[in-house]
Amino acid sequence: MTDSSPSLLIDPTRLQTLLEEAVGRFAVAALASCDSTNSLLCQRAKQGAVSGSVIVTDHQALGRGSRGRHWVATPEGSLTFSLLWRFGEDLARMAGLSLAVGVAVVRALEACGVSGVSLKWPNDILHDNAKLGGILIELQSDSEGAQAIIGIGLNLRLPEKLELTDFALKPTALDQLVSPLPERHQLLAKLLIELADVLDRFSLDGFSALREAWQKHNAWQDKPIHLLRDGRVEMEGLCRGADADGALLVETVAGIERCLSGDLSLRAS
C-alpha cells in the first residue's frame, strides 16, 4: 500500500519509556498499514501472541466499527490500535467488558487534559453527544479461559471534507476539545496505563467493580431514551445506567427492563 501522507509511526521503544507502572506489560508492534488491527491481532493470537500484545497502525483500510460499519484510520486523523488480553475466566464472566474499557479511555483522556468525555452504551465514546471514538471487542474462549481482542479508535482530527449524513451521531475530534493536541506516544501510553489497571480490576471482580465509574460518565444517565432495532423503536423510557453485568437498564411504563443485545441502537428521546 502506498500513500503520500507523512508517517507518524509509533516508536515502541519510546512508548515503553512512557508507560510508568505498566512498563513491560505490553508488546507493541507499530505498522505503517494493515487492513484491520483487530483482524491481524486475532490471527497473531492463534499463533501464540502473548497477553498484552498491541498492534497500532498509521493506516487502516478495512477497520470495523460497531454493527459492521467501516472505520478508516489515517495517521493525521486518528489513533487506532488493538490489544490482546487473556483472562483466566470463561466467556460468561466477560459481560460488561466494553463498558469497563470505556472507563479506561475516559480516564486516559482526562489525564491528557480532555474534560467532558462521556460514554454511550455499549461501546461509543462521546463529547457533547458527538462521537469521539469507539470500542470493538471480539471474544473467544479456549481451555485456559477467555481472550479479548480490544480495538479502540479515537478521532484526532476530522477530515476537511466530511459528509455528515453518513453518521448516526455527528463526529467530533480531540483537536476541537483540547489544545495542543496530545502527542500520539503520550496519548497511547496513557490509554495503555489505564487499560492495564481497569483490566486487572475487571479480571478480579468483573464489571461490578467499575459500574459506578461508568454510571458517572453515562451520556444519558436518568434521561429519556429510545432503543432502535433496524431503524424502528423497540423500547423507550428513562436510562437508569447499567446493571452489574453490563446490561442497559431502562425504566419503562412496565418497570425496569434489562437490555443486553448489542445490535440495539440507543438514542436520546
- pLDDT the model gives residue 268: 87
Q: Quote the pLDDT of residue 90.
A: 86
Identify the three-state secondary structure at position 104: helix
Q: Could you tell me which residues are beta bridge partners of residue 57? A: 31, 80
Residues 165 and 180 in one domain: yes
Our count of domains for the chain comes to: 2
Residue 71 pLDDT > 80: no
pLDDT of residue 2: 37
Domain check: are 173 and 78 in the same one?
yes
Give the CATH number for residue 88: 3.30.930.10
**Same domain, residue pair 144 and 181:** yes
pLDDT for position 11: 95
Query: Measuring CA to CA, how many Å separate 90 from each of 82, 110, 196?
Result: 21, 32, 19
Predicted confidence band of residue 1 (pLDDT cuts 50, 70, 90): very low
226 and 211 both lie in a single domain = no
Give me the pLDDT at residue 269, please.
Answer: 81
Residues 105 and 38 in one domain: yes
Whether residues 84 and 170 fall in one domain: yes
pLDDT at 115 over 60: yes
Listed in sequence order, the residues at least 6 apart from 65 whose beta carbon sits closer than 8 Å to its beta carbon are 71, 134, 136, 153
Can you give the residue range of the structural domain that contains 245?
A: 220-268
Strands (E), the chain: 27-34, 53-64, 70-73, 78-87, 117-120, 124-127, 130-142, 145-155, 224-229, 232-242, 248-252, 255-259, 265-268
Answer yes or no: do 141 and 264 share one domain.
no
Q: Do 228 and 205 share a structural domain?
A: no
Same domain for 139 and 246, yes or no, is no
Does residue 1 lie within any of the structural domains? no
Please give the full DSSP string across 142-187, using - where no structure is assigned. Answer: ETTEEEEEEEEEEESS--SS--GGG-SS-B--GGGTSSSPPPHHHH
Residues 229-269: tens digit of each pLDDT: 888 999 999 999 999 999 999 999 999 999 987 678 888 88
Question: Is residue 4 in a domain?
Answer: no
242, 208: one domain: no
Mean pLDDT along residues 138-166: 84
Nearest residue to 120 (alpha-carbon basis) of 110, 133, 107: 133
